[in-house]
Each structure stands twice: as C-alpha cells, then as structure tokens.
Amino acid sequence: MFLARVAEKGDKPFLWAKRGGKWHSTTYNEAARQVAALSESLLKLGLQPGDRVMLVSENRPEWLIADLAIMAAGCVTVPTYTTNTTRDHTHILGNSSAKVAIVSNQKLAKALVPAVLFSSDCHDVIGIEDFRTGQSMEGARFHQWGELVSDGSDLELLRKRVATLRREDLACLIYTSGTGGAPRGVRQHHGAILHNVAACTDVIANDFGWDEEIFLSFLPASHAYEHSGGQFFPIGLGAQIYFAESLEKLSANIEDVRPTIMVVVPRLFEMLRARILKAIEKSGGLSQQLLTRALEIGQERYEQGSIPLTDKPMDLLVGLTVRRKVAKRFGGRIKAMVSGGAPLNPEVGLFFHSLGLTVLQGYGQTEAAPVISCNRPKNGIRMDTVGPPLLDTEVRIAEDGELLVRGELVMHGYWRNAEETARVLQDGWLHTGDVGHFDEAGRIVITDRKKDLIVNDKGDNVSPQRVEGMLTLQPEIAQAMVVGDRRPHLVGLLVPEPELVSELGNDEAAVRAALGRAVDRVNAELSVVEKVRRFALTDEAFSVENEMLTPSMKIRRHVIRACYGERLDALYGK
C-alpha cells in the first residue's frame, strides 16, 4: 500500500515536522528511500523474517519510517509508549524477545537501556537522534540512525521483498494499555490493518468526499488507534501527516496546519469545551447569549433534523459569529473529528456538533486493529451510539449482551498467551467484553464494559462510565472514579479542577463544598441506584506518570483502588 502511494505521489510532501520554528517536509520518494535503506540495514544486523523490533519514540517522521522499514524487512514492530518505565520495557522485551530496539533520544534511552542490558535477546540499540546513551552498553551494540538510513537503498529490491509478504503475516505486536493488569501483546496481521484502512476510507469517500487530506498526529503512535487511524489510514488516502509539536502547542498547531481529518480522544473534547466555556464566560454579555442560542438551535436540529423558520435568522447570526470563530480555531477546513479510545459523553459531542464541527464517535479495540464501528452522516449521527459496523465487519450480540466481532480485522491472538487467546477468541468471534445493543437504525450502543459493571448489594447494575462522565462535565471536577460493587450505594473519588483549587486559595473545606454542590447537581439527574452518596478527594490528579491513566487516557481502576482503597472503604464507615 505504501509503495503504491509512493508511485502515485512521488516528490509530493508526505511527512511534516517542525524544526527551528518552521515546518519541514519529507516527500513520499524520500520516505521510501529511507525505508529501503533502513530495512536493508536491519537485515545486515542479522535479523530474520518474523523477528521483533521494539520502537520507543515520540510521534515524528522517523517513527513511521522505522515502522515501515521493520515490516518491509519481514520483521514485526513492537511499539511501546514513551511513558514506559524500565520495568515496563523489561516486561515487553522479555515477552516479545525483541532483538533490536530503536529509540529516539537520550531521555527515552535512560529507561530503555537498563532493560536492554537485562534482556537475553536484545543486543542492538539504534538511536534516531545523534546522542550517546550515557550508560555502559557492554553486551549491546549502539548504532546511529543517520548511518543506517544512508547506507544505500534499492527500491526494486524492496518491492520484491514485500511482494512475498501475505495479508495473514504478523505485522506488529501492540501491547494493550493494561487497564486491568500486565500488558498483553496483541498480534495484529497486515490484513487486519488493511481491513481498517479500507473500511475507514469507505467512510471518508462516501460520506465526505476523498480529496487532498491533511492529518495532524498527536496521540501516541504506539497506541493501536493512532497506529492504524493516524498513520496507516492517511497512507491509504495518500495524505500528508503533520506531527504536532506537543499537547501544549496542539491548539496553535491546529490553526497553523489546518487539518481536514483528526483522530482524537474524548479527553481532548472535554478540555476544549471547558476552555471555550471559560473564554465566553469571561467575555460575558452578547457572547454568552449567542453561545446559548447556538447550543439551543444545535439541540433542536439534532433532535428534529431541522429548525423552524423563526430560528433561521438567529441560526445565520450564530453561524457568522460563534461557529465561524470556532471553525477558525480548528483551522477552517475540518471535515471530521473522529473520537475513539474511550466513550464520548453525548453532551460533549452535541456541544461541538452545535458549534458546527462534525464529531464522529467510533468504537474499537486493539484486538480489532482497532476500529470496529463509526458514526456516519449518511446514517444519521447519534451521539449516544458508536455508529454501524465498518465495511466487511460482522457484529452480533451474545445472550448476555456482550458484543462479538468477526472479520479480517480480528487479531490472531495474544502473543505467547494461549489461555487468554482461547478466552476471547471463540469460533472465530472476538469476545469484546463490552455490553451493548443495536438501535433501530443498526447503530451500536455501548452500555458499559462487561467486567466494569457495578452490581450493588441489591443486584442492580450500574454503569460507572455514565456516572463518571456526568461528574466530569461539571466545571469543578477534573476527573472522577466511582465504586460500589456489592455495596449499598455508590461513592466517588474526585480530582478537583486546578483552577478551582487556586481560586479558593487551597482551602480544602471550600473545595469540598464546591465539589459537593457539583455532585448534588449530577445526582439530581441520576436514578436512585446511580446517585453518588459520598466522595473523597485524591492527593494528586490521575496521570500516565503515576500509572492511574493509560496512555490513551483511560482510568486504570485497579491501580486507583490499590492506592485509595482505604479512603474509599472509609466512606462506607469502615
């Protein structure tokens, strides 16, 4: 697929990165030359087809070039998160038996090198930037990226080599984020990724029109969602990929790059919504009134499919003011923002829909390459659904409500874990662990994770994600986790918004009172069994660094419970 795009695009821009304050591009031809050279260099290091190569890097052009080169050599990419500790790297190196590790810079090498030296299989480290590890490399060889990608390249030899690869061959081992324990290596084959690319292309081509597409990559490329959706999907479209400088500079990068498609996670929408509301609140007066009307009109259009003639003049006004301003902040040519990785609160989706942005909530799992379904305008976008199954994807509902998936997108199993593979793959069907149903239009509605459902002491089922989503919509609450399994009621663990804490002068009693009022507002909209009766505060925010969030920003319930178990038990009087 990549080489087909190279033949079509040639010297047109492909990958963009900012250096020295300016965007610099790598053409399709130059990327192919580097892929050919690096794949040849990997084979000269002694790699054989099927060998694993670990990749530790932030999103950048070299990340994608390395990924393609590893696969082109007939080897298997093992992407890992930049937030991984030495312990994480040791587990993945040991489990995958990777023979080579590619690392981008000295900072990331500090956590990786001790794991390499502990490994019995990995004896070669490739540094993308020109650096030395600063650590003894006895027992391992260190190579500079620049030398390996300039060591000659033969595109014809590359084409002949990749022509021998098959769709069923293993392409990568993507280790799941580990929301419930040690990460497991998901065996994604070439056909699974190609299935996702073709199915997502079907959405763009038929619902939006396929043109010269621009992507802005900022989610971790080591996550299956960005790996397929933000890297290989753009290649399938013959698109250009810009690599964001950082999360802090993301807003500026969006205005600068003006992407046409963005792959995002719900947390980004929640953060942007909070910023927009705060900015308009400060403006006050007319701005606030226009936003209120924009949201009312958006809600009416969403629910009824149209708005009455009496609202047309106001609709035009908010289009020329509020919506135009929001569109400019997103670059002005966004076709769609595709949300995945975690559930999107319908209220948040409707907020952006009302402001003129097309938000498509999708659904998937690493075990399915990862996209399974996606909302589509032609089917009618419903914020409380994740849309119909993708092209050539079968989904059915088991008797207990669990979603089962079948098709080429389904993994071939977990790496060296036959027991778990047998548990989730049965008769060709992937057992997702998610509970849901189809609506009247064939769209999937996810109600919760099968294993995360709270069953109280009376046998009532409660969806923690629904309650947590409503809590974090409150301006005072940044993050939340609720518990209550086999308990008489729910209790919550809350992280206050930093600005609230600052405004109240770090007065814990005042912060608790403000959070209490926020919880009361949420409880007013919940059923009796869903109400949060008591809550505790955390000592710090949930983050990837403290391992309470996965790199895709999902809360790791078992880690949080281990840290705050006593505090939560105390809410029940124990």
Q: Cα–Cα distance between 497 and 492 in angstroms, integer?
A: 15
Is residue 227 over pLDDT 60? yes
Q: What is the pLDDT of residue 84?
A: 87
Tens-place pLDDT, residues 254-263: 999 999 999 9
139-157 mean pLDDT:
88
C-alpha radius of gyration, the chain, whole number: 24
Q: What is the pLDDT of residue 181?
A: 57
Q: What is the pLDDT of residue 134?
A: 57
Residue 122 confidence class, pLDDT cut points 50, 70, 90: very high
Q: What is the pLDDT of residue 272?
A: 86
Residue 314 confidence class, pLDDT cut points 50, 70, 90: very high
Q: What is the pLDDT of residue 136?
A: 60
Q: What percent of the chain has pLDDT over 70?
A: 98
136 falls within a domain: yes
- 8 A C-beta contact, residue 404 and residue 431: yes
137 and 269 in a single domain? The answer is no
Q: Cα–Cα distance between 39 and 59 in angstroms, integer?
A: 20
415 falls within a domain: no
Element (H, E) at 286: helix 285-304
Tell me how many domains the chain contains.
3
423 falls within a domain: no
184 falls within a domain: no
Element (H, E) at 27: strand 22-27
Q: What percent of the chain has pLDDT over 90?
A: 76
377-387 mean pLDDT:
92
The structure tokens listed for 414 are: 């977990």
187 falls within a domain: no
137 and 264 in a single domain? The answer is no
3-state secondary structure 29-50: HHHHHHHHHHHHHHHHCCCCCC
List the domain range (segments joined by +) for residue 337: 192-224+238-409
- 8 A C-beta contact, residue 412 and residue 350: no
The structure tokens listed for 60 are: 């950048």
Tens-place pLDDT, residues 17-33: 999 999 999 999 999 99
Residue finishing a domain among 388, 409, 430: 409
- 8 A C-beta contact, residue 536 and residue 571: yes
354 and 502 in a single domain? The answer is no
Measured torsion, CA atoms of residues 271, 231, 552, 219, in degrees rounded to the nearest 10? -40
397 and 471 in a single domain? The answer is no
Q: Which amino acid is at 228?
A: S
Is residue 269 over pLDDT 90? no
Q: Cα–Cα distance between 243 and 248 in angstroms, integer?
A: 13
The structure tokens listed for 450 are: 């099968």
Is residue 352 over pLDDT 80? yes
Q: What is the pLDDT of residue 453?
A: 76
Q: Cα–Cα distance between 17 and 19 in angstroms, integer?
A: 6
358 falls within a domain: yes
- Beta-bridged to residue 546, according to DSSP, are none
Q: Cα–Cα distance between 157 and 36 in angstroms, integer?
A: 8
Mean pLDDT of the chain: 92
177 falls within a domain: no
Beta strands in 297-401 (DSSP E): 336-339, 359-364, 371-374, 394-397
Phi and psi angles of residue 184, each rounded to the nearest 5 degrees, phi first: -115, 145
Global pTM reads 0.84
- 8 A C-beta contact, residue 549 and residue 81: no
361 and 212 in a single domain? The answer is yes
Q: What is the pLDDT of residue 179?
A: 46
User: Is 413 strand, coil or helix?
Assistant: coil
500 falls within a domain: yes
The structure tokens listed for 76 are: 């298997």
Phi and psi angles of residue 276, each rounded to the nearest 5 degrees, phi first: -65, -45
Tens-place pLDDT, residues 427-458: 999 999 998 999 999 999 998 777 777 878 77
**Cα within 13 Å of Cα(488), Cβ side:** 6
391 and 517 in a single domain? The answer is no
Helical pair 285-304 and 346-354, crossing angle rounded to 10 deg: 110
330 C-beta neighbours (distance < 10 Å), count: 20
- Write down the residue that tokens 């909530």 correspond to: 361
Could you tell me the CATH number of the domain that includes residue 246?
3.40.50.12780
- Write down the residue that tokens 């084959």 correspond to: 189
- 8 A C-beta contact, residue 432 and residue 405: yes
If 0-12 CB within 10 Å is exposed, 13-18 middle and 19+ buried, where does residue 466 land? Answer: middle
Closest Cα partner for 442 from 370, 389, 392?
389
343 and 486 in a single domain? The answer is no
The gap between the terminal CA atoms of the chain, to the nearest Å, is: 59
Tens-place pLDDT, residues 237-254: 999 999 999 988 999 999
Tens-place pLDDT, residues 39-85: 999 999 999 999 999 999 999 999 999 999 999 999 999 999 998 88
308 and 398 in a single domain? The answer is yes
Is residue 366 over pLDDT 70? yes
Tens-place pLDDT, residues 489-531: 999 999 999 999 999 998 999 999 999 999 999 999 888 889 9
Q: Cα–Cα distance between 191 and 206 in angstroms, integer?
A: 22
- 8 A C-beta contact, residue 368 and residue 291: no
The more confidently predicted of residues 556 and 542 is 542
Per-residue DSSP letters for 514-527?
HHHHHHHHHHTTS-
Could you tell me the CATH number of the domain that includes residue 112?
3.40.50.980
351 and 474 in a single domain? The answer is no
